[in-house]
Chains A and B, each alone.
Chain A
Amino acid sequence: MNAPATTSHYPSAPTAQRIETHTLSVLVDNEPGVLARVIGLFSGRGYNIESLTVSETEHQQHLSLITIVTTGTPMVIEQIKNQLDRLVPIHRVVDMTLAGNSIERELAMVKVKGKGENRVEALRLADAFRARVIDATTESFVFEITGKSDKIEQFIGLMLPLGLVEVARTGIAAIRRGPEAL
């Protein structure tokens, strides 16, 4: 009957466990308020959203795919999946990170302003990253780049000293390799 040393009523702080990043694919009925339900669940229960992408993917059945990148301890990640699964319009929650063989891509549009050597350098780097020029003026470019998030981060980092003005990103879309559907 020895009293343990700590005095917390609550689970030990999540910092004591490792924090993981997971990508979740959530298939939902595309109906009014469904996104609010998902987002409200995250804010109401104190979960994190690192990235969120939504679009109707099956028009016939009115199904939308929501791709969420979230962080938490393994127990919290399990809770997030279970809590999402509980929502009535949600069909399926698939943890793409656990599945292990998924491909993740993001698209970004990057506006860079500059003249002279900087402009040439930006164009050269864009070429190396396979970014396309989708708009140009005599003093600016808009590049379109797709790839993994870290590749886009790297590209943006390189553009920063060359006159980075603005970035628009889509957030992550994820799909599983191989012939099987979600």
Chain B
Amino acid sequence: MTREMTGAEMVIQALADQGVQHLFGYPGGAVLPIYDALFTQNQVRHVLVRHEQGAVHMAEGYARSTGKVGCVLVTSGPGATNAVTGLTDALCDSIPIVCITGQVPTHLIGNDAFQECDTVGITRPCTKHNYLVKRIEDLPRILHEAFHIASSGRPGPVVVDIPKDIQFAKGIYAKPKEFPHTGYQPRLKGDMEKIKEAIDLMAQAKRPVFYTGGGVINSGSAASDLLRELVKLTGFPITSTLMGLGAYPGSGPQWLGMLGMHGTLEANMAMHDCDVMICIGARFDDRITGRLDAFSPGSKKIHVDIDPSSINKNVKIDIGIVGDVAHVLEDMVRLWRTGALQADKKALSMWWTQIDKWRARKSLAYRASKDVIKPQYAIQRLYELTKDRDTYITTEVGQHQMWAAQFYGFNEPKRWMTSGGLGTMGYGLPAAVGVQLAHPEALVIDIAGEASVQMTMQELSTAVQYRLPIKVFILNNGYMGMVRQWQELLHGGRYSESYSEALPDFVKLAEAMHAVGIRCEKPGDLDAAIKEMIDVDRPVLFDCVVDPKENCFPMIPSGRAHNEMLLGGDAEDIEEAITEEGKVMV
């Protein structure tokens, strides 16, 4: 459609044309014309948040659980700066977000006007791309290009900064057919020669392992299906990063569990001892590799990634394939089938025997208790009582996040929303709001810690306002648990500022916010309390009081390699295991 309208109307029209149903935002002086345009239409539903950071996390949860672009609308100055944490989080975890920010009128830009900040300057390093719209003629094109850039290639956040006079200005709106940024052409198909080389290498492997990541999830459901097919065809073991959980089912026979700093022994040992590593949509992050010079020393490495800058960034790759995971996996599956390729059965069977020995060490084991709720036990019970439902899990950041990753079984993609790259405390509650909005009938649980949840817990009010029955399952140990764990292991048990002296009464707090509060302190009461939480059709704050001294194991101590993991029973040895150099690292 082509017709004359104001800039503010163009914003709403472009969102509607892009199929946007929900917009997370907070009004303010510099976006009032857009809020006025929102008022007179019913194509796009606005969700009023309590803080702009919450708006971006909600959009992230919405985007990750649906595969669509998440949309945010905030005002200039503090509205934009409050959104920065969420934008950075979305950049680190490759989540498609379009964030529209109001700006002071063009003639005031640079004048230190009220609620002015250099939004494009501030957000340049924390977005995939950003725009300051200076002419109404450019607005329709920029709005649509923003969606294209956010969702294509390696997804990420895009900011469109619109001065107030541009929102009032009138112009002709038309959906553009092409974009002037002709240099932006993400590559989808992988190089066939390299894919063939990779398949040949895989067929010769004696100790192979798949190492997959969030790229598989981002590539869409087809990518997960193809991955499962390739894993089944080859018979190879598979592990995944935190971001990639669910692409291959946690209950699948070839699943080794998550790898990395708090990954399982079998996953990390398989990575260390393998002879062929097939990395798909993961980026060799430092939480994964541990010490780089001792990272998987004897393996040939295949790396599939849509972002060429991820290949050879941290680890030298033997076969780098630039392309979309689903496209490349499709070629791999086809080549494996048509070539009637067979893995080396005998070698593979020996490899699995070795892996079973590592599995038998039961690296996730913990000491059960009848008196106090162990956090691992709480997650296990939560999983058992929710696994047969349509469940989505979000988390905050810390010990509870690692326990959720270790003990909650993810069998489908897009069911697990967590802040992996940036590690943003306060991500989970607003993300759960976004997920619930996209999946009104589903059970959405934020597995939280009592410290993290307090960073953005005002968004519970948003959940109440829109009748979104999210469940906030707080593993309450009174400490910033991961900080406490590191202080115990690295800083001689000096718990500097990691204990919360004055926690709120979460039950009363929930009630004050018109939500439901449940507290559970005994392992024997846990199942009944969780069932009660599930049955309530309103937002719930669940205060699960857990063992305050429990540590998260297994663990690769700083400065150590994959084959130097510490298991729960070795806790005493940890202080010795971490060298002076290791203490310097986070």
Which A residues form the contact surface with B (CB < 8 A)?
1, 3-4, 6-12, 27-29, 32-33, 36-37, 40, 44, 75, 78-79, 82-83, 85-92
Contact = CB atoms under 8 A, between A and B. Distances in A.
B182 A91 contact: yes
Contact of B124 (A3, A9, A37, A91): A37
Nearest to B581: A7
Which of A1, A9, A37, A40 has the most B CB atoms < 10 Å from its CB?
A9
A7 B291 contact: yes
Contacts of B582: 7, 9
Contacts of A36: 121, 124
B181 A6 contact: no
Contact of A6 (B121, B124, B286, B293): B293
Contact of B125 (A9, A44, A75): A44
Given A79-B309, A85-B309, A90-B183, A8 B293 contact: yes
A37 B312 CA distance: 23
Contacts of B309: 79, 82-83, 85-86
Contact of A85 (B120, B308, B560): B308
A90 B290 CA distance: 34
Interface in B176-201: 180-184
Nearest to A37: B124
Contacts of B585: 9-10
A10 B286 contact: yes
A157 to B, nearest CB: 39
* Interface SS of chain B: loop
11 contacts: A1-B564, A6-B293, A7-B291, A10-B286, A12-B293, A32-B132, A33-B120, A79-B309, A82-B311, A87-B129, A92-B183
Contacts, number: 84
Task: Name the 8 nearest CB pairs between A and B, nearest first.
Answer: A91-B183, A82-B309, A7-B581, A88-B129, A7-B559, A9-B585, A7-B579, A4-B294
A32 to B, nearest CB: 7
Contact of A4 (B129, B181, B561): B561
B292 A82 contact: no
A88 B183 contact: yes
Interface in B287-322: 290-294, 307-309, 311-314, 316
B123 to A, nearest CB: 11
Contacts of A75: 312, 316
Nearest to A28: B183
Contacts of A40: 124-125
Interface string B463-501: 000000000000000000000000000000000000000
Contacts of B124: 33, 36-37, 40
A9 B559 contact: yes
Interface in B23-44: none
A38 B563 CA distance: 40
B406 interface: no
Nearest to A83: B309
Contacts of A10: 286, 292, 585
Contacts of B134: 32
Given A79-B309, A85-B309, 9 more contacts: A1-B563, A4-B561, A6-B291, A8-B292, A33-B132, A36-B121, A82-B308, A86-B308, A88-B129
B558 interface: yes
A1 B309 CA distance: 32
B283 interface: no
Contacts of B292: 8-12
B57 interface: no
Interface string B4-29: 00000000000000000000000000
Nearest to A91: B183
Contacts of A78: 312
Interface in B308-351: 308-309, 311-314, 316
Contacts of B120: 33
Interface in B107-137: 120-121, 124-125, 128-129, 132, 134
Contacts of B90: none
A9 B290 contact: yes
Contacts of A87: 129
A40 B127 CA distance: 12
B149 interface: yes
A12 to B, nearest CB: 6
A33 B124 CA distance: 9
A85 B311 CA distance: 13
A3 B564 contact: yes
Contact of A88 (B184, B314, B558): B184
Nearest to B158: A88
Contacts of A37: 124
Contacts of A33: 120, 124, 132
A89 B183 contact: yes
Contacts of B182: 91
A12 B563 CA distance: 19
Contacts of A86: 307-309
A3 B581 CA distance: 15
B181 A9 contact: no
A33 B125 CA distance: 12
Nearest to B564: A3
B278 to A, nearest CB: 21
Contacts of B180: 29
A37 B130 CA distance: 10
Nearest to B179: A88
A34 to B, nearest CB: 11
Nearest to A12: B293
Contacts of B563: 1
Nearest to A9: B585
Contacts of B291: 4, 6-9
